[in-house]
Structures are given as structure tokens and as C-alpha cells.
Chain A
Amino acid sequence: MKFTQDSIYLKVKPELDMEFGKFGGMYVPDPFSPVLEDLAKKAIEIVQTTEFIENRKKVLNVLDISIPEITKVGDIKDAEVYKIQSPVFPLILSGYLALANILDRTPSFAASDENKLDMFVRSAEFLGLKVYVALDKRLSQKTALVEKLVKAGHTVDSKKCVELFDDPILYAFQYFISNINNALYVPVDANSGPYPFPSLTVEFTTGFKKVLEDIAAKQFDNKLSALLACAYPGTSAVAAYRFCDDCDTRLISVEPAFEFDRNDCYCGIFTKVVKVGEEERILCPELVYSWETGEVDRVFADDFTTALAAMEIKGKVLVVEGC
């Protein structure tokens, strides 16, 4: 089933004044604030227009993204386990690309995953947009990929992550801020950036909340014992948990054991960084906040099955796959 107009229409007016802190908003220098406030004002108007909704639907269609379906996994101890694939990435992507198209801005994207890069470029090209892409060190070394993007007329940065910080988010954001009137930062994998980006990212995921609300009511009769989601970076988890604001469902984030866990600054946001294997991973600040307030249980396990096997949960459990 395709996403309908209703499932991607933003009925709630975005709260575009999220501060540095739990939502991950970063501070920017004083001189940039008027430009960002203008962008926020325009975004509020645009996200509620038919043109915006049509643009999002086009992107979701070209990516062949449908409303995710529930499948039953089986029983683990006393839990009856179901799973659903998170649609958060395409939902956020479609939101930002629709916005970029209407604002006539160049989307600025950080790529460290080839599949996500492909989805981004295909969608942008479908809307007729030329993009800026910062590639991480690994993708930068894929000469054919770089050549293909350049040949298609896109601006590709394949040197910075090799020569400097291996951090495409840094360069995608830097491109945006250096072209603040003509570019649009697309923070898909980390809910980062200054006002109004964290709020927009959250708003673009509301389609998933609506899907889950519908599923909880129709398939589980609103009797869902627990909802499990992946902790890294936590954008999907936070989007999924939001549907449970007023319900008794236990919310659980699952992550493998890590080498260290430190408070740090990343993407200009104050959050936690964990090292898993050789990789440093950044956690969505809102997820960190929900651990601290006790709204979400933090569970360490290599996968959902192991997590459930180690826990005492009775009744229906929904696992959100994809981060």
C-alpha cells in the first residue's frame, strides 16, 4: 500500500524553535540567525501545501516505498514477536528533497552508504535537482561512482574525507552554511543541524508514527507490550517511540556492546559517541535524553532475538528493523 496524502500530510504545525540540547539543535553564529529564521518561516508554509505533498509522493513513488507491513516472526519465550521495516529514511529524504525543489535550493547530502546515496541521487534527479554530495573516505575511492555523479552534473566532494576528517556530515553542513541562500542541508542519518533542521526532521518522520498508530489499533487492539528499535543513530527509534506518547507499551532500544561511551560534541551537537568495533557511532540526542528520563530502556545485545531472549516480556512485541 502506498503512502497516502493523509499519511504524509503534516497536520501538526512544526515546532521550529528547538534549542540546542535534547533535540540535537546546534547553535550557529549570530549573523546566520536571520537567514535561518527566514528558512524556517518558508518551510512552515511550504510543508503544508499540496505542492509539497505531491513532491514527497513523487519521491516515495520513484523509490517504490510503500507503507511498511507487519510480519510475524514467531514466539520468543513469552513474547509473540512481529517486525516492521522502518520507512524513516525515505520519509525524511522525501521531505527535504520536496522542500529543496520548491525552494529551488541544492540539496547537500553526506554519503557513507552507497544504497542511501543511490536513493538520494535517484530521487533528486527525478525532481530535476542537481545535488552536492560529500563522500566518506571509502566511497571517495570508488572512482566509477564519483565519475558517474560528476558526469550527471552533480557537485561531488571526494577529497575532503580522504585528506581531512573522514566525516561527510561536516562537509555537507559546511557546503550548506557556505551557500546558505542557495543550498539545503539534508540531515538524514543524524538528526543534526541548527534551527529549523531538527524540528523538520522530526516532522518528516510523522508518517511512521501514523502507520504505527494504525497498526497498534487494528492489528494489536492497542495491546502492544513492547516496541524494540535499533539505537544507532536512533532516528527511527525516536520516530517509532513517538506513537507511544500516551500508551503503556514498554520502549526499548537495542545496541551491541561498545568499547566506550562518552559525552561529546558531534555535528555541532552535544550528544553521546560510542565506539563499536572500529567505528564511532553518534547517538540521536533525543534518544539519549529519553534514556536519561527513563522513558526508554537501554538494552545491550547483538540483535533483537538475543535481546528478547534475555528479557521477560509477555504479550505482543513489535520490532522496528532499520536504523
Chain B
Amino acid sequence: MANRLDRRFAELRSNNEGALIPLSPGDKAPFATSMEIIDMFAEIGSDAVEIAVPTRFPWMEGKAMQTHQLEALEQGVSPADSFKLMEVARAKYPDLPLATINFMGPVLTYGQANYVSGCKRASMDAVDIPDYPFVSRDDPLYFGSELRNNNIHFVIDVTTNLAVAPEGTREYKLLCGLIQHSGGFLFMIAQAGGVSGTKDSLPVDTLKPAVERVKMLEGKFHINTPIIVVCGISTPEQVHNSIRLVGADGVMLGSAISKRLQAGESLEHIQPFAKSLKDATKV
């Protein structure tokens, strides 16, 4: 069976449409809050949903996402709870591409084999573990290969700095390796240090040459991995510009929705905003 993400991106490309990939925090069974959020994301037409597994050292997360992580840990949410949530979401949305985000430490704490089998049980489409050195250390624990052998994409991250590395440098070699190993989609990260959080303006001047360079190299290697911008996007205009001005294939966002949830806004109130973000991928 083809990976749902691959199918979804093929459809999006034929419709000249970008992807919206929002992030859902997790809670404990019966997942009252998180399933409501995932339902909302599905209703507005999200192209994939990322489900976060809480960690106690979220060093690439900004304030909004850390707040979610902290709340989840205080509620006692464990990786086992998060995998159960993924299974529940999968049962309800058999065709919706699902990805999960976590860090390598908790993967090892939970057990790499348990982690992979949890992803298999929920029929996840991609795993985003940003701190696993899949390319620079040549898949040291065979984690990436194991996931891919199970039809689960391992998400590759590229920063805007790395994307414009001059030819002949070590950075360029790494960039080429990352592109060649990419699958599902590839994250283009614009923040310093990769730390998440909403931004007032989209750094088009930084993102555009980075995306163009990666697309050029993808062409060179006969690869067509969609590029998803991650840079604190929080408005429909930023979504639109990421796709139409920057040339990305979609956007991923977490803090924009999380900040509203944490400010006490109801999902009914947030839904039109979330819908406007998805609509901006079509214009």
C-alpha cells in the first residue's frame, strides 16, 4: 500500500494546492481534548496531522509547545498514551496521513523497538525525530531504516543556512545527503536553533533561496520530496506566501493553534481561523 502522505502530496500537486500540517498535543485516554483537536483539523481539510509525544526536555520547542508538553507530563501522559491516541485517530481517520514528533531520548526510554511497533500499530505515515542524526551519523541505530522498512517515512530537516551551503563544502555534502535520504516530506526550518514559536513576519528573503536551492538539488538527484516550511507561521497570509512566494509545498504549524488554546479560546472559535489557514494553501 502506498504511503498516505505520498498519495496526498500527489493529489495536492495535481490541484496546484499546498499542504497544511498542524500539530496536535496529546492527553490521556479517552483523549477528550486531543481527539477534538484532531477532529477539527480533519474537518477543515488538513492534509496531514502531527501528533506530539510529550518529553521532559523539549529543547527545540518554544513557549507554546513547551506549555503543552508540561501540561501533558503533569497529567501523566506517557508515550504509551500517545501511541494509543495515534491508534484511536487512525481508526477514526483511516485515510488521513498521520505523523508523530518526538526526540530521540524518549524513543530510547520507551524502547526503539516498542516505538517502531507503536507506529506500525497506528499505521503512521511519518516519524519526525529531529535530533536523530540519520544522515550525518549514517543511521547509527538503524532507526530510520527500520521505520522505512515498515513504510513509515523518516522526516528529514534542513535549515535555511544549510540549504544555501556553497558547493564543495562539508555542509554542501551533508545537504546533498539529506536530500537524497528524504522521503514523505522534508522540513525547511528557518528559526535560529530550530526552536519553535510564532513569528510576526515570514522571512521570505531567507526561505525563498533555500527552497529554490533544495528544489534544484532534488531535480539533480531525480527526487521530488515535498518541502514543508516550519518557521512560526501564524497567519493565512504567511501560509499563502510560504507556498506562492517562497515556493514551498506546504506549511507545518503548532504554536499558532496552541497559543489560542492556551489563551482559553474554544475549538469552535479556533476552527474558522484554522480553516482560513487551510484555505490559504489553495489560493
Contact = CB atoms under 8 A, between A and B. Distances in A.
A and B are partners in one complex rather than unrelated chains: yes
Nearest to A178: B193
B106 interface: yes
A173 B157 contact: no
A265 B106 contact: yes
Given A29-B131, A178-B192, A268-B103, A19 B57 contact: no
Contact of B174 (A20, A33, A179, A267): A33
Given A26-B105, A268-B131, A170 B57 contact: yes
A128 interface: no
B105 A29 contact: no
Contact of B133 (A27, A180, A269): A27
A278 interface: no
A163 B71 CA distance: 12
A165 B192 CA distance: 21
A259 B76 CA distance: 18
A134 to B, nearest CB: 12
Contact of B162 (A31, A163, A264): A31
Contacts, number: 101
Contact of B105 (A163, A167, A180, A265): A265
Interface in A237-277: 263-270
B7 interface: no
A28 interface: yes
Contact of B57 (A31, A33, A37, A268): A268
Interface string A33-45: 1100100000000
Contacts of A178: 191-193, 195
Secondary structure dominating the interface of A: mixed
A31 B161 contact: yes
Interface stretch (B37-45, B59-67, B271-279): B59-67
Contacts of A28: 131, 133
Interface stretch (B82-90, B134-142, B215-223): B134-142
A164 interface: yes
Contacts of B104: 20, 26-27, 268
Interface in B94-113: 103-106, 108-109
Residue from A37, A174, A267 having most chain B Cβ neighbours under 10 A: A174
Given A177-B193, A177-B194, A263 B132 contact: no
A312 interface: no
Contacts of B248: none
A178 B189 CA distance: 13
A106 B171 CA distance: 24
B192 A179 contact: yes
Contact of A177 (B109, B132, B161, B195): B195
Interface in A60-79: none
A19 B140 contact: yes
Contacts of B58: 165, 170
Nearest to A169: B57
Given A29-B157, A174-B195, A167 B131 contact: no
Contacts of A270: 105, 108-109
B56 interface: yes
A279 interface: no
Contacts of A6: none
A211 B57 CA distance: 36
A30 interface: yes
A73 to B, nearest CB: 39
Interface residues of A, number: 31
Nearest to B63: A164
A266 B132 CA distance: 16
B193 A180 contact: yes
Contacts of A180: 193
Nearest to B110: A265
B263 to A, nearest CB: 14
B56 to A, nearest CB: 7
Contacts of A268: 57, 59, 103-105, 131
A34 B171 contact: yes
B137 to A, nearest CB: 8
Interface in A260-307: 263-270
Contacts of A174: 59, 193, 195
Contacts of A33: 133, 136-137, 174
A245 B66 CA distance: 42
In this complex, which of A165, A167, A179 has the most chain B Cβ atoms within 10 angstroms of its Cβ?
Answer: A165
B255 interface: no
Contacts of A31: 157-159, 161-162, 174, 178, 189, 194
Interface in B126-171: 130-137, 140, 156-159, 161-162, 170-171
Given A263-B109, A268-B103, A268-B131, A30 B57 contact: no
A33 B137 CA distance: 9
Contact of A30 (B60, B66, B156): B156
Q: What 6 A-B pairs come out closest when comparing CB atoms?
A: A265-B105, A178-B193, A33-B136, A177-B193, A31-B159, A30-B136
Interface of A: 19-20, 26-31, 33-34, 37, 160, 163-165, 167, 170, 173-174, 177-180, 263-270
12 contacts: A29-B131, A30-B156, A31-B159, A31-B189, A33-B137, A34-B171, A34-B174, A164-B66, A164-B67, A177-B194, A265-B109, A267-B57
Given A34-B171, A270-B109, 18 more contacts: A20-B140, A27-B104, A29-B194, A30-B133, A30-B135, A31-B161, A31-B178, A31-B189, A34-B174, A160-B63, A165-B66, A177-B59, A178-B193, A179-B192, A267-B57, A268-B104, A268-B105, A269-B105
